Amino acid sequence: LVFRFAAVDRPLCCTFVCFRPWFKPHPTSNKYTAAAAPKNKLTQNHRHRDRAPMSKRTAKQSAAAKRGKEKAPAVPASDEDMLAIRGIRKEMDKSKADPTLEELGVKDITEVAEMEDEEVRTTIERVMVSIALSILQGDGFEYHIPSRDKANQHYIAELDRIVLRNVMKTRVFASMASVRKTAIMTRVLELIHQVVGKGIHITKRDLFYTDVKLFENQKQSDGVLDDVACMVGCTRTSLNVVASDKGIVIGRVTFEEDGDFIDCTRMGVGGKAIPSLVNKINNIKGDAEFILLVEKDAAFMRLAEDRFYNQYPCVIITGKGQPDVATRLFLKKVRTALKIPVLGLFDSDPHGLKILSVYMSSSQNMSYDSSSLTTSDIKWLGVRPTDLQKYKIPAQCRLPMSDDDILVGERLLQEDFILKNPAWVEELKLMIRTKEKAEIQALSNFGFQYLTQVYLPQKIKAGDWI
């Protein structure tokens, strides 16, 4: 092969000649074969130049594959590391089942239950027949629905969850104040009747787009959807209207989803999307010893990529911020099936603590279904305000709390589910006093794998949760 390099500013050409027999000659030839060819530096360089150029993406993938081969397998946690976790599991085994509302003597509470499609359809038809009779009698029509106002929320300490008092309100079609809401509710009832009659499921977005001019925005249709569930007496999922998939799970758990076997240790680094139809999940099994509930998907990605569940046998779940109904249902279902504790990893700010409280005690909007949506006794593992000093998180990694953050924190200090736990109160007071907050990613200041290699192992071994 001949390589010729010409200088730009001079009429001088330099010619280099290199002969490289990269083919095997005919057997009768006396030439040496490629295997016997001398491997000097020049011929090696030529051999690489003869190949097609590698794209940047392929080069990165090759480098990543090489690093993956060189990565040492995760060392499983020792019995000493898991001692505190197993202590909680023993306490759970000894604890009694939560009492019912009847056993606690709590009355006049609105609670809903799972219903089959036929039962939902029949209930809606019964409501519409009564409305038709009222109109024929010349009385117009109105809906009587449970009020979901904040004043009707009631916290039950023994169950550690919020319930809805049985206080009714009326929506009258003939009133200017409620005519629009009444029209929206009638339309939503009509659409749900169609959906359950066909035995299909739709998303909340689908529902909104059936009558955009009437609903105006999705908050209107979403709010009325909860009112319909309260009035019918069923869970929102029984209405066959669901939200799009949001939550993710990965780790030591297997289950069947509508007949398909799912192994959450074989879902790559992205994890398995938690399906909207959680009622189609059954036969949950696994050797996990705890559930790690993570607020954000950024921390989830780090845990998944480092295969944290191989070192510490666990199930990792995230709702990507404010959790949807499916994630909350799935968390409770896994915890009940495996009978293991739940540790919460959330940002050290009032909003992170508020999201954690939604998993534990329910949101006010869906307090009517708190029995199936809440998972009690979640341990607050971190990141807590005391961790900022304990782990010497630098000032540049901390953020000043906004006025809204402080307001949310002060309101949380007035909530019964916070006041029940003195350790939570002290942490929240420290947060408000210092006016500092920090995200989970602040730990990356010490290294991108500090979370999985130092922070969590130390916390779990010491049993440092509240």
CA distance 18 to 47: 12
Beta strands in 346-410 (DSSP E): 379-382, 399-400
Does the annotation count 209 as an active-site position? yes
CA distance 2 to 212: 71
Give the dihedral sign, CA 193/197/198/200. positive
Beta strands 290-294 and 314-318 are parallel
Instruction: Identify any residues that bridge with 6 across adjacent strands, giving them in sequence order.
Output: 13
**CB-count exposure of residue 184 (10 Å: 0-12, 13-18, 19+):** buried
Beta strands in 61-186 (DSSP E): 109-110, 142-146, 153-156, 161-165, 168-172
Contact (CB, 8 A) for 111 and 232: no
- Four-CA torsion 40, 42, 48, 50, nearest 10 degrees: -120
- Four-CA torsion 146, 150, 151, 155, nearest 10 degrees: 90
> Which listed residue (209, 309, 368, 455) is catalytic?
209
Contact (CB, 8 A) for 163 and 131: no
SS3 content of the chain, % helix, strand, coil (to 5): 45, 15, 35
CA distance 385 to 379: 15
CA distance 253 to 263: 6
**Which of the residues are catalytic?**
209
